[in-house]
Amino acid sequence: MKRLILGALLIGSVFQSSAQDFNKWSIDVGAGVQTIVGSVAPGYGTNNPDFWQANIGARYMFNERFGLRLDLGYNNISEASGNNPFKSNYYRGSIEGVINAGNLLNFKSWTKDFNLLVHAGGGISRLYSSEPIDTDADKMRQLIAGITPQFKLSNRVSLFADVSGISNFYQNRSFDGTGTTTKNGISGGIVNYSVGVNISLGKHEQHADWYYSDVEVAEKSELEAINKRLKDAEEEIADLKAKDFTKAKLVSELDSRYATIESVGSKNVDFAKQLIENGYVNVYFDVDRANVQTGSTSAINFLKTYLENNSSAKAELIGYADETGPKGYNKFLSEKRAKTVYNVLVAAGVDANRLSHKGEGEDATATKEARQLARRVAIRIQK
């Protein structure tokens, strides 16, 4: 047991130096019932489930996904009604690796209050029988594995339920203490069912179990805002689909539906430029298409209005594709998308000398879930 504790402290101290904006240490305290699996002498038996067992653990998370836990447990084992009476006590200690499955499975995309941990490891255990005979300690090694759903009550406290299976190796006596076993491998086991509390230790607001960065939240909010803007734009011009509009008439119609930059003051001209240069105004495309998405027509109108209010400004149109196709084809497709936007702006009355266009091919920075954002034409303002 000393070696287990020293090993856990050593590993924890090695990783303690890495600075994160969340608490890494926590205490887990639980209690519940048990099921004894095998290694009971004839005439002896236990209830299923049987009362009672308890455990306490100290856990250290290296990061928001992986950690290490030192766990101590106790099981009080006695006979079921109608069986020979006996009393035994089972003690154990283990070191377990912990995986934050909720983080790996991106639970934060749909909940901030529910999480799931998975743990497994090994250690030592001791079995003492006091009735009907008093025995010396049966010294065993054991493997343990389990799952732990969590429910967050506050930044410091969470409820948990745990199901853990324990397999004993080299168990020489049955759990009642009256029988013996000659197995050298797995010779007995226990399944523990616990409920308890997890208490976070540290100065930070969040524990690693529940950590999600401000960057992730900002990215999610920005993506939601873009999706909402696209949806609103599609609804706004849905009635135009059945009409016979040229490209110039379509942009002109959008002018009447959106306030021009000039109408709300000269200060908004600088704000409009900032929006464009920071990448908030893009023209999006469907998969393997060079036709502008209906909802992205408003972005073209936005650029047209900006250029009308800034006679010295020029714009470079830069096409991109996602990384699902061959590189050569993606280069061709990105150039074609930039040329499409160029043609629409020229048809809408923008001087061709004020526009340039090129294709950059794949945008490898977009993740699989955000490939829609890679299929775009970005805008760069030039003075």
Q: Going from the N-terminus, what domains does the chain have, and what CATH number goes with each?
A: 2-210 (2.40.160.20), 214-382 (3.30.1330.60)
Residue 258: predicted pLDDT? 43
**Nearest to residue 65, comparing CAs of 10, 106, 103, 112?**
103
| pLDDT greater at residue 335 or residue 180 | 335
The count of other CB atoms within 10 Å of the CB of residue 330 is 24
Residue 252: predicted pLDDT? 53
With bands split at pLDDT 50, 70 and 90, how would you rate the model's confidence at 89?
very high
With bands split at pLDDT 50, 70 and 90, how would you rate the model's confidence at 287?
confident
Residue 166 has pLDDT above 90, yes or no: yes
Least confident of 86-90, 223-227, 296-300, 302-306: 223-227
| pLDDT greater at residue 8 or residue 56 | 56
pTM of whole model > 0.85? no
- 319 strand-pairing partners: 359, 377
104-123: average pLDDT: 91
Q: If you ran DSSP here, which 8-state letter would residue 285 be given?
A: B
Residue 244: predicted pLDDT? 54
pLDDT (tens digit per residue) in 144-164: 999 999 999 998 999 999 999
**Nearest to residue 101, comparing CAs of 124, 126, 122, 119?**
119
Least confident of 188-197, 265-274, 302-311: 265-274
Report the chain's mean pLDDT, rounded to a whole number: 82
Residue 112: predicted pLDDT? 84
Least confident of 34-48, 49-63, 114-128, 145-159: 34-48
pLDDT (tens digit per residue) in 226-252: 666 666 666 665 655 555 555 555 555
Residue 71: predicted pLDDT? 97
Between the alpha carbon of residue 345 and those of residues 315, 320, 348, the distances in Å are: 11, 18, 5
CA distance 270 to 246: 31
Least confident of 74-78, 211-215, 229-233: 211-215
